[in-house]
Amino acid sequence: MVCPSCNRPVATSRPACLYCGAPLPQGTPPRQDAAGPAPGPADETGFVILDLASADPGKLADTLGLAAFDADQRMKRGGFLLWRCLPLVEAKNESRRLLGEGLSAFAIPGSEVVIASKPRMVVGGSSRGGLLALRFRQGGQEVDAPAMLLVVKGPITRQYPPSPTIRRARIATLETGYRVHLHLRDLRTPLEIDPGNFDFGDAQSQMSSLLTLLDWVASATAGVPNDDAFRYETPALSPAPREESGPTAAAGIFAKPKAAGGEAPQSLDNLGQFRFYSAWRAVVERARQDRLAAPSGPMLPFGGGPFGGTL
């Protein structure tokens, strides 16, 4: 949702805006707890995604009801566009309509996106030319380009929420983060790498940890689709998850509680937004490659997709 006072996106349902403190509209459905009941098939959410790689600006504007300028800006950005979030049945119908208008559209089920939004954290590793040897808290895995479906990269914005009691500019700021998601062909959940919280072992490099890690990933994923369009998204901040190490954990350690026995201020980030973006992008990439590999070619008839007729 968007705050009616400051027009900033708010990722979580709260009584007041995280940025300006203005009250938010009531009636917004709260986030469902992970342990809550899963939605049934009739209630499942679907997402309509457009591939703008070869779309015509005029047709895009007419079909989506956009102004010519807005359609042109979306075309300049290119890539994939999350167009609608609807009940899955309606998402399929919208995908049919867009395909009939000559646009490349996908309808993907929300259940697949939920699975792909729960990454497995990588804690360290090494590079062996075209191979990445990754370590987890338990075990490890070697990955290379043939095993890879998609790489998603993007910056993570971090900041403190405004204080209702402090009426001065905050001098202390939080360091911007970065995330890399490796989506494998035979695994529905991505491998998440945090360059600021990654053990390089005995590897020696004159570059920063981020540049070193990006160089390793590039060497091991030659020819694999890379998506770094998340940097164009307007950050939607929510409370940052607690971490045992890394910049966010350090900020919590050195932040002074407001009073004895109080808690350190909760920092905000858009990590949840990145994981959601990476998840639907990976589900679309699986569908896109299945469509291209189908005997009927790129224009696979609706109903022949891997998600029970969602293409």
Q: Are strands 140-144 and 191-193 parallel, antiparallel or unpaired?
A: unpaired
Answer yes or no: is pLDDT of 230 > 80: yes
The pLDDT of residue 269 is 94
Q: What pLDDT band is residue 265 in, cutting at 50, 70 and 90? A: low
**Tally: H helices and E strands in the chain:** 7, 14
Tens digits of per-residue pLDDT, 278-305? Answer: 999 999 999 999 888 876 544 443 333 4
* DSSP run (H or E) holding 286: helix 271-293
Interatomic CA distance for residues 288 and 273, integer angstroms: 22
What do you get for the CA distance between the two ends of the chain, in Å?
28
Q: Is the pTM of this model over 0.85?
A: no
Interatomic CA distance for residues 310 and 174, integer angstroms: 41
Query: Mean pLDDT, to the nearest integer, of 127-141?
Result: 93
The pLDDT of residue 266 is 73
Query: Mean pLDDT, to the nearest integer, of 201-221?
Result: 89
For residue 7 the two structure tokens come to: 């027009």
CATH 3.30.1390 fits 41-116+284-293, yes or no: yes
95 by DSSP, 3-state: which? helix
Instruction: Judge contact between 190 and 181, C-beta under 8 A.
Output: yes
Query: Mean pLDDT, to the nearest integer, of 241-258?
Result: 55
The pLDDT of residue 307 is 43
Higher pLDDT, 261 or 206: 206
Answer yes or no: is pLDDT of 29 > 50: no
Least confidently predicted of 17-31, 56-70, 111-125, 127-141: 17-31
Alpha-helical segments (H) within 78-208: 88-100, 110-116
Q: What pLDDT band is residue 212 in, cutting at 50, 70 and 90? A: very high
Q: Output the average pLDDT for the chain.
A: 81
* Torsion region of 258: left, alpha or beta (phi above 0 gives left; psi -120 to 50 gives alpha): alpha
The DSSP letter of residue 9 is B
Higher pLDDT, 153 or 18: 153
Q: Cβ neighbours of residue 189 under 8 Å, at least 6 residues apart?
A: 115, 116, 118, 119, 120
The pLDDT of residue 222 is 93
Interatomic CA distance for residues 309 and 311, integer angstroms: 6
CB atoms within 10 A of CB 277: 21
Query: Mean pLDDT, to the nearest integer, of 185-208?
Result: 90
Instruction: Judge contact between 195 and 209, C-beta under 8 A.
Output: yes
Query: Mean pLDDT, to the nearest integer, of 193-213?
Result: 89
Interatomic CA distance for residues 125 and 110, integer angstroms: 32
Q: What pLDDT band is residue 3 in, cutting at 50, 70 and 90? A: confident
For the chain, the structural domain boundaries read: 41-116+284-293, 125-269
The DSSP letter of residue 266 is P
Residue positions counted in the chain: 311
Interatomic CA distance for residues 161 and 19, integer angstroms: 6
